[in-house]
């Protein structure tokens, strides 16, 4: 969708956009599903401070309007107040004789006697309730006028009689709102490969460090390590990613700036025989400030023979004691599920123990084995990915 009008207020990280559809759009890819048609969208979004995800927002869709006539054979279209026999009421919008209540969709049918009817699910499994009216809706008419009523009877004991009072014969200025809230919808920025429409998902390389991504806490972008394949000049690069929204809980740099999304390793070396990577994170040199009092981190990382996990190593700090990989820091390959789907293809317990035994023989620490074991069990159970790829 391209917005006709839009505005972004940077101070509050708020976006407001509007679009009018020359041809009404359906909320489903299939018109036969019975979803509404809309002619306008009003979008209000409040982004996180980094702009990486939407904190909250509202999508307001304007229902497409129409007027019942001989050329448009839906005389009951419009807005109705529904009054139930037990005293409750509600408002519903009918479009092309379709409407929705509590997420369920209904279609009104005019039978051969010009009487409207439709069915809805009852309280018992497999039970359908039929709702019918004796009032005739003749072709070329609009049905009850505004203020008039349509009386229904049902086959349900709970709702023996229902009355619809017409509020309008069209859907002018009728909107449906959808809230974007934490725990409801999650919209997150996609990191895309240059020149493609595909998100950048980590890939697994079992014979080389380069091209692999290693993450902690099953999350890419939560201080994950990215080792890029060589560029056209044969140069190798690596960086730490702070692109996950979860990093917003972490402190800012000491000068108050946000932690950069990607922080490059400097002074890179890699020894293939020992699978040992060395590199520095130079906070003071690259950004003119420290982070949590630290001006520089010096990494020495040893990988297992098939680059599934970080076997050992240290992070030397300018202040305080070094962090130990396998103890303080547990990192695994973010694309390990790809390999495990082959290794655990038969989903047998024996295969699982063979894989775990191989990791243990490669000097995986207890914490690393626990993390890898959770991923393996998820793969064997055909569950969704354990890894949050931040896409």
Q: How far apart are CA 95 and CA 218, in angstroms?
A: 46
Q: Can you tell me whether residue 196 is helix, strand or coil? A: coil
To the question of pTM greater than 0.85 for the whole model, the response is no
| Tens-digit pLDDT profile for residues 67-97 | 544 455 789 999 999 998 878 899 999 988 9
Task: Please give the helix or strand (H or E) that residue 349 lies within, else none.
Answer: helix 349-361
Interval 11-29 mean pLDDT: 84
Strands 323-324 and 89-94: unpaired
pLDDT digits (tens, 9 = 90+) for 21-50: 988 887 654 444 446 888 999 999 988 776
Residues 6+ apart with CB under 8 A from 183: none
Per-residue pLDDT reduced to its tens digit, 267-306: 999 999 999 999 999 999 999 999 999 999 999 999 999 9
Q: Which residues pair with 192 in a beta bridge?
A: 199
As a dihedral over the C-alpha atoms of residue 31, residue 35, residue 36, residue 40, rounded to 10 degrees, the angle is -80
239, 244, 249, 250 alpha-carbon torsion, rounded to 10°: 0
């Amino acid at each position: 969708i391209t917005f006709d009008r839009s505005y972004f207020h940077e101070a509050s990280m708020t976006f407001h956009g509007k679009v009018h559809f020359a041809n009404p759009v359906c909320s489903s890819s299939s018109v036969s599903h019975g979803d509404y048609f809309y002619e306008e969208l009003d979008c209000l979004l409040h982004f996180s401070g980094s702009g990486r995800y939407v904190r909250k927002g509202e999508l307001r869709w304007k229902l497409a309007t129409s007027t019942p006539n001989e050329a448009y054979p839906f005389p009951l279209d419009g807005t109705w107040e529904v009054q139930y026999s037990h005293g409750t009421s509600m408002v519903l919008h009918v479009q092309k004789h379709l409407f929705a209540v509590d997420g369920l969709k209904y279609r009104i049918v005019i039978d051969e006697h010009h009487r409207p009817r439709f069915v809805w699910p009852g309280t018992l499994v497999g039970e359908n309730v039929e709702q019918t009216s004796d009032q005739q809706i003749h072709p070329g008419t609009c049905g009850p006028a505004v203020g008039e009523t349509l009386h229904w009877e049902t086959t349900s004991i709970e709702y023996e009689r229902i009355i619809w009072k017409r509020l309008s014969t069209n859907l002018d200025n009728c909107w449906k709102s959808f809230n974007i809230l934490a725990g409801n919808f999650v919209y997150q920025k996609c990191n895309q490969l240059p020149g493609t429409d595909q998100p950048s998902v980590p890939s697994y390389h079992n014979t080389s460090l380069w091209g692999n991504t290693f993450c902690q806490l099953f999350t890419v972008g939560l201080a994950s390590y990215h080792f890029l394949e060589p560029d056209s000049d044969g140069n190798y690069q690596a960086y730490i990613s702070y692109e996950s929204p979860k990093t917003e809980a972490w402190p800012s740099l000491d000068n108050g700036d946000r932690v950069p999304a990607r922080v490059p390793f400097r002074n890179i070396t890699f020894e293939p025989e020992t699978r040992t990577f060395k590199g520095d994170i130079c906070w003071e040199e690259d950004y003119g400030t420290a982070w949590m009092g630290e001006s520089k981190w010096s990494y020495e990382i040893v990988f297992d023979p098939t680059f599934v996990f970080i076997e050992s190593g240290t992070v030397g700090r300018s202040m305080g004691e070094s962090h130990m990989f396998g103890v303080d820091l547990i990192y695994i390959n973010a694309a390990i599920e790809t390999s495990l789907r082959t290794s655990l293809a038969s989903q047998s317990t024996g295969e699982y123990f063979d894989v775990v035994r191989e990791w243990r023989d490669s000097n995986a620490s207890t914490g690393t084995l626990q993390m890898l074991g959770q991923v393996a069990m998820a793969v064997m159970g055909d569950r969704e990915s354990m890894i949050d790829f931040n896409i």
